[in-house]
Amino acid sequence: MVYLTRLEHFNAAHKLYNAGWTPEKNEQVFGKCANENWHGHNYELYVTVKGQPSPDTGFVFDVKQLSLLIREHVIEKVDHLNLNMDVDFMKGKMCSTENLAIGIWNELKKHLPAGVQLHGIKLYETPRIYVEYFGEV
Ligand code: NI
């Protein structure tokens, strides 16, 4: 099995805020991330697919096509937007990096061609914080 990864990038705004809690509790739990007037991150998105290299091309998957799929089904939906307000697959969820990684997985999974297996999503929120998601087993 060979693992192939494509890196994409996007910027987005969000806030972490639980409407069932008081402003004080939100501030206590989420700190600056609860800032009412939003804040942004430069996200780095690593998408890994897996498979056997094709005898015809030597590729697990055409990485240009992978890039186009990620851009069409994820980047276009989140880049320069507000994750809490503008992104259909994050509606009603806490906009944490954890939930965003799951949302991105679900979006990509349904648009990858048959025969291409999604292996993992690695999503950097900052250069020192990232989340990995490998689907449910
Ligand atoms: Ni944040």
Dig out the tokens for 132 from the structure.
Answer: 């990995």
Dig out the tokens for 108 from the structure.
Answer: 């990509």
Cα-flanking dihedrals φ and ψ of residue 20, to 5°?
-80, -5
Mean pLDDT of 21-50: 95
CATH code, domain with 55: 3.30.479.10
Could you give the residue numbers annotated as active site?
33, 80, 125
Give the Å distance between the CA of 45 and the centre of ligand 1. Answer: 15
pLDDT value at position 115? 82
Q: What is the pLDDT of residues 50-85, one digit of tens each?
A: 999 999 999 999 999 999 999 999 999 999 999 999
Q: What is the pLDDT of residues 101-137, one digit of tens each?
A: 999 999 999 999 888 999 999 999 999 999 999 999 7
Domain membership of residue 118 (yes or no) is: yes
Asked whether the CA dihedral 94, 99, 101, 103 is positive or negative, the reply is negative
Q: Report the chain's mean pLDDT, rounded to a whole number.
A: 96
Q: What is the pLDDT of residues 7-34, one digit of tens each?
A: 999 999 999 999 999 999 999 999 999 9
Domain membership of residue 32 (yes or no) is: no
- The domain of 90 spans 2-14+42-133
**pTM summary value:** 0.95
Q: Total structural domains in the chain?
A: 1
Task: Tell me whether residue 44 is exposed, middle or buried, using C-beta atoms within 10 angstroms of its C-beta: 0 to 12, 13 to 18, 19 or more.
Answer: middle
Give the Å distance between the CA of 53 and the centre of ligand 1. Answer: 38
Give the Å distance between the CA of 80 and the centre of ligand 1. Answer: 14
Give the Å distance between the CA of 127 and the centre of ligand 1. Answer: 13
Domain membership of residue 127 (yes or no) is: yes
